[in-house]
Amino acid sequence: MPSDCVRLKEVLLCAHVGCTEEERRVARPILLDVDMWADLEPAARSDDITAAVDYRRAYEVIASVGSSREFNLLEALAGRVAGELMKTFDLHMVTVRARKPNPPVGGIVGWAEVEITRRRSDDS
């Protein structure tokens, strides 16, 4: 697996994520970090965006998923983002970290975070 990685850090979405209807009613900030592993040698050699993991397009995919529906769980949002990025790009692996600031846990917590990693199987 190549060690080449394109990262998007602190992608800010306003999304409807929460286990209760009240929590999902209003879109709240969700921060995502996305690591996309791919062979970047062709892009480095050619200096051609069509050979690269276009992070503008990756942002569009992420934003589209975040606005597509309500999610009960951060895991579902992160998993959907990971899956759509794997479908859109020729990635070997993707990791999505989704953070919800000030989660309603009954106390003071900076954020709740989940991390989802998906790998392309050898036979795909």
In a domain, 124, yes or no: no
pLDDT for 2-60, tens place per residue? 689 999 999 999 999 999 888 888 899 999 999 999 999 999 999 999 999 999 999 99
CATH of the domain at 62: 3.30.1130.10
Among residues 93, 92, 28, which one has the least CA distance to residue 66?
28
Please state, as a whole number, how many other Cβ atoms lie within 10 Å of the Cβ of residue 91: 23
In the structure, what pLDDT confidence band is assigned to residue 124 with cuts at 50, 70 and 90?
A: very low
| Contact (CB, 8 A) for 83 and 67 | no
| 3-state percent helix, strand, coil for the chain, nearest multiple of 5 | 35, 35, 30
67 assigned to some structural domain:
yes
Supply the pLDDT for residue 104. 87
What pTM was estimated for this model as a whole?
Answer: 0.92
Domain range for 42 is 5-119
What 8-state DSSP symbol labels residue 49?
Answer: G
Domain count of the fold of the chain: 1
pLDDT digits (tens, 9 = 90+) for 84-118: 999 999 999 999 999 999 998 899 999 999 999 99
